[in-house]
């Protein structure tokens, strides 16, 4: 397949390596430095787009690609206030759009484990739930999309939790009400991603964590999603790919 890489940072380069290993071709590598070249690509030059750009440019990138009839796999986070509009636009264009906050198979198993644990905790209101996420210093958004997905998973199971609160290290903390889940964000070195969900009581603590050792798991998942998406129509996510 001919694959357009929209975003060519560390993740884009890791994805490129996996694509070439799997026998695919790179239609173009587009980032902030050569974004104008995007309009030079012929519609038939691209089979699918893998979009890992920035929160500021993701929605416009996705819209443009859907207008051209290109299926889009997106892993950029921090732009989801426009997600509903993008998905509606995709439907009107009869296009294909695949979004995940995290493409790692392990993380998506962790998402499911998180929901199961939250379901168990319904009967034990003495436990207070909170989350911590740690990423590399180049990550622009906080909390991470993965942490937000985890918080949403808890809220699906615990009626007492209706929102999440972001508290980023180095910033003045926001108060956390009884109806909220606190997400603490830390940016350290070259950490690919560590996420922890914690239930505290006066007598003990229950904790589950996912620790990524490299970007390889995220990148491979995005490539598999791109291979799967070609020829489909609609809105998809990791549950569709993994066969929920």
Q: Which residues are annotated as a binding site for NAD(+)?
A: 75-77, 100-103
Q: Which of 13, 115, 128, 139 is catalytic?
A: 139
CA distance 59 to 41: 19
Clarify whether 171 is annotated catalytic: no
165 three-class SS: strand
CA distance 98 to 85: 14
Q: Which of 24, 135, 161, 210 is catalytic?
A: 135
Binding-site positions for (S)-2,3,4,5-tetrahydrodipicolinate read 136, 145-146
Closest CA to 69 of 241, 230, 244, 236: 230
Clarify whether 161 is annotated catalytic: no
DSSP E strand stretches across 1-158: 2-6, 25-30, 48-51, 72-74, 96-99, 128-135
Closest CA to 2 of 235, 243, 163, 227: 227
Q: Is the peptide bond before 143 cis (omega within 30 degrees of 0)?
A: yes
CA distance 241 to 181: 29
What is each CA distance from 227 to 101, 206, 235, in whole angstroms? 18, 38, 15
Q: Strand 194-200 and strand 205-211: pairing? A: antiparallel
Q: Report, as residue numbers or ranges, the catalytic residues.
A: 135, 139
């Amino acid at each position: 397949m001919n694959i357009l890489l929209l975003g060519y940072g560390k993740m884009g380069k890791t994805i490129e390596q996996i694509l070439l290993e799997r026998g695919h071709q790179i239609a173009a590598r587009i980032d902030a430095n050569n974004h104008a070249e995007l309009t030079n690509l012929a519609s038939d030059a691209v089979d699918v787009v893998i979009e890992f750009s920035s929160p500021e440019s993701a929605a416009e990138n996705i819209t443009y690609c859907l207008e051209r009839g290109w299926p889009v796999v997106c892993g950029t986070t921090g732009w989801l206030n426009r997600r509903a509009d993008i998905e509606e636009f995709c439907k009107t264009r009869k296009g294909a759009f695949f979004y995940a906050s995290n493409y790692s198979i392990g993380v998506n198993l962790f998402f499911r484990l998180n929901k199961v644990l939250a379901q168990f905790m319904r009967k034990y209101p003495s436990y207070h739930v909170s989350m911590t996420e740690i990423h590399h210093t180049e990550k622009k958004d906080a909390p991470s999309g993965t942490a937000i997905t985890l918080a949403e998973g808890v809220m699906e199971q615990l009626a007492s939790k209706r929102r999440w609160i972001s508290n980023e290290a180095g910033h003045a903390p926001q108060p956390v009400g009884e109806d909220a889940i606190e997400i603490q964000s830390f940016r350290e070195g070259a950490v690919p991603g560590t996420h922890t969900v914690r239930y505290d009581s006066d007598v003990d603590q229950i904790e589950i964590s996912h620790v990524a050792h490299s970007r390889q798991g995220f990148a491979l998942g995005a490539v598999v999603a791109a291979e799967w998406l070609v020829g489909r129509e609609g809105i998809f996510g990791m549950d569709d790919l993994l066969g929920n």
